[in-house]
Amino acid sequence: MILSMTGFGRGTAVLNGREITVELRSVNSRYFEYSSRIPRSCSYMDSRLKKQLNERVTRGKVELSMTIQNVEAADAEVTVNMELARSYQKALRNLSEKLCIKNDVTVSTLTRFPEVLATRHADVDEEQLWADVSAVTAQALDNFIAMRAAEGAKMKADVESRLCFLEERVGRVEALSAGRVEAYTARLYEKLRTILEDRSIDDARVLTEAAIFGDKTAVDEETVRLRSHIAQYRSILELDEPVGRKLDFLTQELNRETNTIGSKCQDLDITRTVVDMKAEIEKIREQIQNLE
């Protein structure tokens, strides 16, 4: 299964009185990169989350976002320091009597004073919370991988169509280069007849020059290797594993063989064909840059 490196996945569930939401986003990267935005109270599970993602994602810059909200039971308890509240109340009453002003103290007034109200967080079962978060993360991962697979399938289809075009162009190069030596020999004979006029032409020398020309401009090895690379490309696209790095290397090989053909052949039609091939290889390279 071919996977894109870009994707999005979301998981959410209410477990043990908490609504947990996990979102995953990724963009291209040469390696697996992880970053997260999670509640501070959950920082202890960050390394576990990274490991969980890395087990199914090998390349890409992945960002995990997580929110946790209590929906059935509060994880904090508010307590009142009654002694301190009474002290504040007594002090305010004395102040009112001595200054002869109205004592308008209310409950809300007292709660504004420091340390009258205190918040105590309930004990959290960290392993249970991790189990819940991990389950929701797995759900987000499934959706994330599904989106990556859908994008990957489109890219695979596009690359396969371009490989067909490339294969057809290789055949054209082979056809154009087939009569190259004969055409060169004929031109050489014609030029020598014009230069030497009535003098005899050394057929052996002409054949030798034609043989040297043929050897210098032969592209048989390059076209055979190109066909081999294209076949290997198709095989790799069928693998059920990350293939981005393998295809990146193979694309360089396709480009190298095509450049060699272009440097060897001075034929205008072959040169145009090579330009088409290089343009198509560049489009393939842009696509596989997005594959895991």
* pLDDT tens string 186-227: 565 566 555 555 556 555 655 565 445 554 556 778 888 999
Asked if the model's pLDDT at residue 138 lies above 80, the reply is yes
250: left (phi over 0), alpha (psi -120 to 50) or beta: alpha
- CB 170 within 8 Å of CB 260: no
Hey, where are the domains in the chain?
Answer: 7-72+126-148, 76-121, 153-289
Per the listing, tokens 């999005």 go with 8
Q: What is the DSSP string of 58-93?
A: -SEEEEEEEEEEESSS-SEEEEE-HHHHHHHHHHHH
What is 7-72+126-148's CATH number?
3.30.230
CA distance 170 to 188: 27
- CB 219 within 8 Å of CB 173: yes
What does pTM read for this prediction?
A: 0.70
Give residue 174's pLDDT: 83
